[in-house]
Amino acid sequence: MAEITEMNELQTLRHSASHVLAQAVKRLFPDTKLAIGPAIDTGFYYDFDTEHAFTPEDLEALEKEMKKIAKENLKIERFELPRAEALELMKDEPYKLELINELPEDAVISFYKQGEFTDLCAGPHVNYTSKIKAYKLLSATGAYWRGDEHNKMLQRIYGTAFMTKPELEEHLAQLEEAKKRDHNKLGRELELFTTVDYIGQGLPIMLPKGARIIQLLQRWVEDEEQKRGWQLTKTPFMAKSDLYKISGHWDHYKDGMFVLGDPENDKEVYALRPMTCPFQYQAFLNRGRSYRDLPMRLNETSTLFRNEASGEMHGLIRVRQFTISEGHLMCTPEQLADEFRGCVELMKYMLTTLGLYEDVSYRFSQWDPNDREKYIGTPEQWDEAQGVMKEILDDLGIDYKIGIGEAAFYGPKLDVQIKNVHGKEDTLITIQIDQMLAEKFGMEYVDKDGTKKNPYIIHRTSIGCYERTLALLIEKYAGAFPLWLAPVQIRLLPIADRHLDYMYEIKKKLEASGIIRVEVDDRSEKLGYKLREAQLEKIPYMLVAGDKDIENNVISVRSRKNGDMGAMSIDDFIKMAKEEIDTKKL
């Protein structure tokens, strides 16, 4: 309980800091219109409508003004007004008027005042501005009013605040480390991916090194899934709207799809697939099925297309075309718990091997019974599906939070959540229970008693979206990938040109052993320069050879992680490296 109280106290301080920021903006830029300014997990922000584009210099000036406001020790006082008086008070603030007009008739309309500044706010706040001492304004960016791209673009100033200066300094140091690890910056510097304006937002180009990592991940995933009884399918990237109408995507997800053609005038309208499930069901429907065919586990390395809002795009984390380790499993009710457990075990194995499992949390995503338009099925079907899933999750001992309204439109799901280096949480992997789409598609099997039944379906990913996973791996390892995943595993560095033949022989031996991602740096540059460049590129091993190494038939080994490892025979090095690769050592 003490921890919750401390967090509430910190959130209150941060909320108050956002008001001090707004007051400073009003003092320096009086024509600015105020939107909203909440506390968030990492600090606070405030959205402003102004013709002035905030610069880093402006943020410095605003910090100084915030310091003045804190020194003035203004009392922060709460008061309430009837609706008519509230509207009159905020008559020059259009965004506040909009918020007031949307409040229920019986709502309490409260304000907080500090000196000459008054803001519509539910609170709470600290008592005096002098309490706000340890803060920092971090950035200014664009943000649509209420997050809707159809609304006006406002300017959002982000900041953070803490109870003490040492806590603030520690946080700022963490932010600097996050900037160094940001996949959007580091991935481009390491030439893993790029983006091009005239290709489009959310459509990254995988450069050879990034493409190699994704290929390694895909081969590993497909091989592991095959070992666990999954059968590979390959399905079309698009389909007629007829398919999506059966599945419900047309009614419940069309805004998130890329539609090809005019639904009003064209006889046949196609759409790029946002997910693979309705396609893979056709493999089940290919012929009659009995209980002996179940469980049927179908997987696919699926390229999907989703029409994400432009404001949501971020590097490889959120894109419009992506590739996913997708699978759909048809089973009997009796098999459901064991098959769900198998999907969870597969997910755990994948994330543990990648070193990401320690960073994830779980969300049990359920439907919102107050938003019936968003979902198919009856309340009874949802109660049954969510009850079954809760029993399975509790039996597995999974510690989860509940997310109301986060379910897919056809069923509840277990979302495996993970945060990027900036603290933003995204879903990495989902495992879903679905008892509705089988009936929609006429998927039936003949049970032991001769009756026809609809199978349960589990929708799942094992590693999630490859692009997002790559982004998280870049940030996790700051671009220094484990040896088995490194796009270039070894770089051979001859000291002089006369050592080149020896190095090319070493390269042949490495490749013959199965270590194939090897480069020879044959440029006429000094060794120190070559070493520094290899280290900047985060190459796991650098093998150096000069006259003495050739004379003794050895190579001098330098490790990215362990530094100078001395001379060793090529056979000993191959043995060491292959063990590191085969065990997928982190």
**Same domain for 293 and 153:** no
- Which tens digits make up the pLDDT trace of 245-277? 999 999 888 999 999 988 777 789 999 999 999
- Using CA atoms, how far apart are residues 225 and 218, in angstroms rounded to an integer? 10
Residue 159 has pLDDT above 50, yes or no: yes
- Six-digit token string for 440: 């929609």
Residue 4 has pLDDT above 90, yes or no: no
Average pLDDT over residues 468-485: 97
Boundary residue ending a domain (433, 449, 477): 477
**Same domain for 510 and 459:** no
Q: For position 187, what pLDDT does the model report?
A: 97
Query: Does the residue 183 lie in any domain?
Result: no
- Using CA atoms, how far apart are residues 344 and 530, in angstroms rounded to an integer? 45
Q: For position 373, what pLDDT does the model report?
A: 85
- Which tens digits make up the pLDDT trace of 521-545? 999 999 999 999 999 999 999 999 9
Q: For position 558, what pLDDT does the model report?
A: 97
Query: Does the residue 29 lie in any domain?
Result: yes
Q: What is the domain range of residue 300?
A: 193-477
Residue 584, Ramachandran bin (φ over 0: left; ψ between -120 and 50: alpha; else beta): left
Query: Does the residue 174 lie in any domain?
Result: no
With a pLDDT cut of 70, the percent of the chain lying above it is: 99
- Using CA atoms, how far apart are residues 259 and 238, in angstroms rounded to an integer? 9
Average pLDDT over residues 513-522: 95
Residue 450 has pLDDT above 60, yes or no: yes
Indicate which CATH number applies to the domain containing 409: 3.30.930.10
Question: Any residues with CB less than 8 A from the CB of 509 and at least 6 apart, and which?
Answer: 570, 574
Residue 2 has pLDDT above 90, yes or no: no
**Same domain for 446 and 546:** no
Indicate which CATH number applies to the domain containing 83: 3.30.980.10
Query: Does the residue 180 lie in any domain?
Result: no
Q: Which amino acid is residue 137, in one-letter code?
A: L
Q: For position 377, what pLDDT does the model report?
A: 87
**Same domain for 138 and 44:** yes
Q: For position 262, what pLDDT does the model report?
A: 85
Higher pLDDT, 4 or 156: 156
**Same domain for 331 and 404:** yes
- Using CA atoms, how far apart are residues 568 and 31, in angstroms rounded to an integer? 71
**Same domain for 220 and 274:** yes
Q: From the CB of residue 218, how many other CB atoms can be counted at a distance below 10 Å?
A: 15
Phi, psi of 3 (to 5 degrees): -65, -40
Q: For position 357, what pLDDT does the model report?
A: 96
Residue 559 has pLDDT above 80, yes or no: yes
Average pLDDT over residues 155-171: 96
Query: Does the residue 173 lie in any domain?
Result: no
Query: Does the residue 441 lie in any domain?
Result: yes
**Same domain for 303 and 379:** yes
Query: Does the residue 548 lie in any domain?
Result: yes
**Same domain for 508 and 381:** no
Boundary residue ending a domain (421, 452, 477): 477
- Which tens digits make up the pLDDT trace of 403-436? 999 999 889 999 999 999 888 899 999 999 998 8
Q: 46 and 62 in contact (C-beta within 8 Å)?
A: no
Residue 140 has pLDDT above 50, yes or no: yes
Q: For position 263, what pLDDT does the model report?
A: 79
**Same domain for 432 and 507:** no
Bond prior to 236 in cis (omega within 30° of 0): no
- Which tens digits make up the pLDDT trace of 301-333? 999 999 988 777 889 999 999 999 999 999 999
Angle in degrees, CA 478, 482, 484, rounded to 5:
145
- How many residues can be counted in the chain? 586
Average pLDDT over residues 237-245: 95
Q: For position 189, what pLDDT does the model report?
A: 96
Average pLDDT, the chain: 94
With a pLDDT cut of 90, the percent of the chain lying above it is: 88
**Same domain for 266 and 231:** yes
Q: For position 56, what pLDDT does the model report?
A: 94
Boundary residue ending a domain (477, 503, 536): 477
**Same domain for 238 and 310:** yes
**pLDDT band at 41, cuts 50/70/90?**
confident
**pLDDT band at 5, cuts 50/70/90?**
very low
Q: For position 147, what pLDDT does the model report?
A: 84
Query: Does the residue 333 lie in any domain?
Result: yes
Q: For position 130, what pLDDT does the model report?
A: 96
Helix (H, G, I), strand (E, B) or coil at 433: strand
Average pLDDT over residues 355-360: 96
Residue 3 has pLDDT above 70, yes or no: no
**Same domain for 495 and 460:** no
Indicate which CATH number applies to the domain containing 537: 3.40.50.800
Where do the DSSP E strands lie in 335-442?
360-366, 400-404, 413-419, 425-434
Q: Total structural domains in the chain? A: 3
Quick one: CA torsion of 379, 381, 387, 389, rounded to 10 degrees? -130
Helix (H, G, I), strand (E, B) or coil at 324: strand
- Six-digit token string for 168: 């603030």
